[in-house]
Amino acid sequence: MSTLSWVRGVNSTLGWFAPGFMAKKMRLAFMKPRDMPPRDWELPLLASAERITLRFGLSALRWGEGPTVLLMHGWEGRPTQFASLIDALVAAGYSVVALDGPAHGRSPGHEANVMLFARAIVEASAELPPLQAVIGHSMGGASAMLAAQLGLRTQTLVCISAPARILAVLRGFARYVGLPPKARSAFIRHVERDVGVPAAKLDVAHYQLAMPGLIVHAEDDLFVPVAESQLIHEAWFDSRLLRLPEGGHQRVLADPRLIEGVLALLANRSTAERQSA
């Protein structure tokens, strides 16, 4: 029997007898990120960055000069995972600011969720020059769309490998760890209490996304189903959907077609601004 099968078996058994206890335990596991150090290929970019601290202690890395692009990594992610995209943006004349999400890297906190990530994006945008784009990966993409509902102002928005429905994420996690139905429901209620919003409302179908956008997702993503990208695209009138045949959940960040799509979105927006001036 594999370790995961054993863990699921234990969670299932305890979940039947003590659903409230197991729900609280899994809530902590769901919201407490592990510290994942940068890989060797990220180190040169990390060494060239300027470390900045925004209000409330939010930490970020900055590269380049020019119009500002804000990046938000995903769960247990890092700013330098965007290395290829950052290099391309700086070469194209942009200043790139990449956040350490709450409870990640050097930013404060011990727990995180999509709402805390979204608020961090809004808080960062209030201190930075006008944003040409906000680019988010995975939960960072979901939080960027949520931030747009909380007052975020940006010319464009890019979501990479992002879920469309937070409730589906919660249900998927609860099934993955083996919680039985009663414990599963209690787990979702605990998360909703911490986030402060019913999970069903954190669904892109309820959002208003007025800015031009790009949605990128790989067909072979094993963490967030590619079907989520279609749901986002259907709810977002002014968006382009770029589905790549491969790239998984992480490797897609370095795909040349993603980089080309981001630069084209920014260039098109700049052209539109000049024509309307």
* Confidence at residue 19, expressed as pLDDT on a 0 to 100 scale: 84
Q: Output the pLDDT for position 62.
A: 98
What is the C-alpha separation between 93 and 83, in angstroms, rounded? 16
What's the CA gap between 158 and 141, in Å, rounded? 7
Query: What Rg, from alpha-carbon coordinates, does the chain have?
Result: 19
Q: Residue 105: is it exposed, middle or buried by C-beta count within 10 angstroms (0-12/13-18/19+)? A: buried
Retrieve residue 36's tokens. 């994942």
**What H or E segment, with its residue span, contains residue 267?**
helix 256-276
Which string of DSSP letters, residue by residue, matches 106-141?
Answer: TSS-S---HHHHHHHHHHHHHHSSPEEEEEEETHHH
Are the C-beta atoms of residues 157 and 131 closer than 8 Å to each other? Answer: no
The confidence score (pLDDT) of residue 135 equals 98
Domain extents in the chain: 50-164+203-268, 166-196
Closest listed residue to residue 159, CA positions, set 204, 202, 92, 107: 204
Cβ density class 83-95: b for 16+ within 10 Å, e for less: bbbbbbbbebebb
**pLDDT tens, position by position, 200-241:** 999 999 999 999 999 999 999 999 999 999 999 999 999 999
Q: Is the dihedral of CA 187, 188, 191, 196 positive or negative?
A: negative
H or E stretch including 230? Answer: helix 227-235
Q: How far is CA 198 from the centre of its chain?
A: 19
| Cβ atoms 219, 226 nearer than 8 A | yes
Measured CA to CA, the distance from residue 224 to residue 101 in angstroms comes to 19
CB 138 within 8 A of CB 90: no
Residues of the chain with pLDDT under 70: 1-4, 6-15, 17, 270-277
Three-class SS of residue 2? Answer: coil
Q: Is the dihedral of CA 230, 228, 193, 195 positive or negative?
A: negative
CATH superfamily of the domain spanning 50-164+203-268: Alpha/Beta hydrolase fold, catalytic domain (3.40.50.1820)
On the 0-12 / 13-18 / 19+ scale of CB atoms within 10 A, 159 is buried
pTM: 0.94
Q: How far apart are CA 221 and CA 146, in angstroms?
A: 22
